[in-house]
Amino acid sequence: MTESIDDETVDGLAERLYDAYRRGDPLDAATLPDLDVADGYAVQRAVADRREVDEGPSVGYKVGFTSAAIREELGVDEPAYGRVLADTVREEGRLDDGDDLIDPKIEPEIAVRLATPLDPPATPVDALAAIDAVVPVIEVVDSRVADWELTAGSAVADNALAARVVHGDRIADPAAVDLPLEGVVVRRNGERVATGVGADVLGSPARVVAWLAEALADRGERLAAGDLVSTGSLTELVSLDPGDTVEARFATLGSVTVSRGYCSD
């Protein structure tokens, strides 16, 4: 797929998004160029190149917009992927850098780790054969575009809204988990606010992994052994405001909890 913007525009927007991420200061949507999805991936790669200096190499991918509820909420019409950098993967607990986030929200997700590479054409059965571990996660998403005024292109450029991946302490054998039927209940400050199941992400997390293999191949990349793939939110977005604690309790995978501190003066 070919971008419609030139290298100078890609580089300039990547620098602005990187600065917005680093400072926690969002960009005005009205100042962004009109981006198609191919443009967005070019910018995303350029932003990741800058961030890797501080946050380490990519350890996998997050797939977003895999549920109809999220696509409707954000106004996009197809899934997208972003890159997960090493230092953005955290153990559950309080976000020690939560004050640097802009307007974070959480997504309960099923993440998987690949034992072998996965190349297209790939089916969900092929994806399951490549997976050697299943992990419950909360993905903390954030928009470096003010007020979440996103287009498909700008959402992709903004690393598909990735911020942090917070994992639980349980690693499951994929053969022991019925991925489409794995359910989750989300509670914020003790109140039940959302529910979902694995089938809400393209029918199955395995189907998401197969989709990702195809999408990466379209851009000359591939899923490698050891890659972590977070397969998309099982529910609508849940706010994570200062002082909040959010728990995602999965049917068989255990629970993951994340909290956000109050902003300091």
CA-based nearest residue to 61, from 198, 197, 165: 165
DSSP code per residue over 79-129 = -EEEEEEGGGEEESEEETTGGG-SS-EEEEEEEEEESS-B-SS--HHHHHH
Q: Is residue 24 part of a domain?
A: yes
Q: Is residue 75 part of a domain?
A: yes
pLDDT tens digit sequence for 194-214: 999 999 999 999 999 999 999
- pLDDT band at 98, cuts 50/70/90? low
- Residues constituting the chain: 265
- pLDDT band at 102, cuts 50/70/90? very high
Q: Is residue 1 part of a domain?
A: no
Yes or no: say if 159 and 83 are a contact pair by the CB < 8 Å rule.
Answer: yes
- Asked if residue 124 has pLDDT above 90, the reply is yes
Q: Which residues contact 85 (CB under 8 A, 6 or more apart)?
A: 48, 51, 52, 55, 56, 57, 58, 59
Q: How many domains does the chain have?
A: 1
Distance CA 206, CA 204 (A): 5
pTM above 0.75, yes or no: yes
Q: What is the pLDDT of residue 45?
A: 96
Q: Is residue 151 part of a domain?
A: yes
For the chain, percent of residues with pLDDT exceeding 70: 97
**What is the domain extent for residue 63?**
7-260
- pLDDT band at 8, cuts 50/70/90? very high
Q: Is residue 251 part of a domain?
A: yes
Yes or no: say if 69 and 236 are a contact pair by the CB < 8 Å rule.
Answer: yes
pLDDT tens digit sequence for 210-236: 999 999 999 999 999 999 999 999 999
Q: What is the pLDDT of residue 2?
A: 58
Provide the pairing of β-strand 105-114 with 228-233.
antiparallel
Yes or no: say if 104 and 241 are a contact pair by the CB < 8 Å rule.
Answer: no
pLDDT tens digit sequence for 25-77: 999 999 999 999 999 999 999 999 999 999 999 999 999 988 887 888 777 77
Q: Is residue 238 part of a domain?
A: yes
Q: What is the mean pLDDT of residues 131-153?
A: 95
For the chain, percent of residues with pLDDT exceeding 90: 85
Q: Is residue 2 part of a domain?
A: no
Q: What is the pLDDT of residue 71?
A: 80
Yes or no: say if 198 and 110 are a contact pair by the CB < 8 Å rule.
Answer: yes
CATH of residue 148:
3.90.850.10
Structure token digits, residue 38:
């191919």
Q: What is the pLDDT of residue 174?
A: 94
Which residues pair with residue 255 across a beta bridge?
A: 249
Q: What is the pLDDT of residue 190?
A: 97
List Cα–Cα distances, 8 to 2, 4, 37, in angstroms.
15, 12, 17
Q: Is the peptide bond before 121 cis (omega within 30 degrees of 0)?
A: yes
Q: What is the pLDDT of residue 263?
A: 63
Q: What is the pLDDT of residue 97?
A: 61
Q: Is residue 66 part of a domain?
A: yes
Range 6-11, long-range pairs (CB < 8 A, 24+ positions)? 9/33, 10/39, 10/42, 10/43, 10/46, 11/46
Q: What is the mean pLDDT of residues 123-127?
A: 96
User: When comparing pLDDT for 59 and 100, which is higher?
Assistant: 59
